[in-house]
Chains A and B, each alone.
Chain A
Amino acid sequence: QLQLQESGPGLVKPSETLSLTCTVSGGSISSSTHFWGWIRQPPGKGLEWIGSISYSGSTYYNPSLKSRVTISVDTSKNQFSLKVSSVTAADTAVYHCARQDFYSYDMDVWGTGTTVTV
């Protein structure tokens, strides 16, 4: 059974870079039929798609965050990562990683999420 687990610092200082990693277990990140994405949820607010990466490394970003976000993949470690630069208090949120289906475009497997406070 595929599982995703987020990891990274829970506290980041303003203006610094937030870095998170999602480790995929029970399956390969090199699947040609999936994207791998990041979604966040500020306290008391709704979900926001941050960006996604394909198995080949093609990246797709939310236009509102594009200038500050980088997503990368490490197939040797079965991981993908998120970096958000120049963070402010508005970046405080629970960050989830998720697998996205290439054909139905949904987020079909979710990580439990990790809280990041700026």
Chain B
Amino acid sequence: QTVVTQEPAFSVSPGGTVTLTCGLNSGSVSTSYYPSWYQQTPGQAPRTLICNTNTRSSGVPDRFSGSILGNKAALTITGAQADDECDYYCVLYMGSGLWVFGGGTKLTVL
């Protein structure tokens, strides 16, 4: 069974930089998985941040960037702000019409 892994929690200082990762329980993540990233605040629908590994969605500040780091997809937030404190999810497209979400990372800014 395919499991997409994310750090359960992460913390960053205001103004700091943090990199969240998205991996596979077996194998490496590449651009062929079209990794995408979503931001979710409590009680709200997810907001698309990054699609296709590194393309920012409309209106997303350039503090958010996506990449492949080693064998994982990565979301880097630079200049962290208080309202960046929320949950972040990655999704991988496994092919054949199958998508898998990661378990999400709860980001704390303190």
Instruction: Report A's interface with B, CB cutoff 8 A.
Output: 35, 37, 39, 46-49, 52, 58, 60, 62-63, 96, 100-101, 103-108, 110-113
Q: Which of B63-110 contact A (CB under 8 A)?
A: 89, 91, 93, 96-104
Given A46-B101, A49-B99, are A104 and B52 neighbors across the interface (CB < 8 Å)? yes
Given A104-B52, A107-B36, A108-B51, are A46 and B103 neighbors across the interface (CB < 8 Å)? yes
Number of interface residues of B (CB under 8 A): 24
Query: Could you tell me the distance between the alpha carbons of A96 and B22 in the complex, rounded to whole angstroms?
Result: 22
Other than the given A46-B89, A110-B46, 10 more pairs (CB < 8 A) read A39-B101, A47-B40, A49-B101, A58-B97, A60-B96, A96-B46, A104-B52, A106-B48, A108-B48, A108-B51
Which A residues are in CB contact (< 8 Å) with B48? Answer: 106-108, 110
Give the residue name and chain of the B residue nearest to A108 (CB): B48
Which A residues are in CB contact (< 8 Å) with B91? Answer: 49, 106-107
Which A residues are in CB contact (< 8 Å) with B103? Answer: 46
Which A residues are in CB contact (< 8 Å) with B102? Answer: 46
Which B residues are in CB contact (< 8 Å) with A58? Answer: 97
Instruction: Report B's interface with A, CB cutoff 8 A.
Output: 34, 36, 38, 40, 45-48, 51-52, 55, 57, 89, 91, 93, 96-104
8 interchain pairs, CB-CB under 8 A:
A49-B101, A96-B45, A96-B46, A103-B52, A104-B51, A105-B99, A106-B34, A110-B47
Query: Could you tell me the distance between the alpha carbons of A81 and B40 in the complex, rounded to whole angstroms?
Result: 24
CB distance from A109 to the nearest CB of B (A): 8
**Which listed residue (A49, A96, A107) contacts B100, Cβ 8 A?**
A49
CB distance from A5 to the nearest CB of B (A): 11
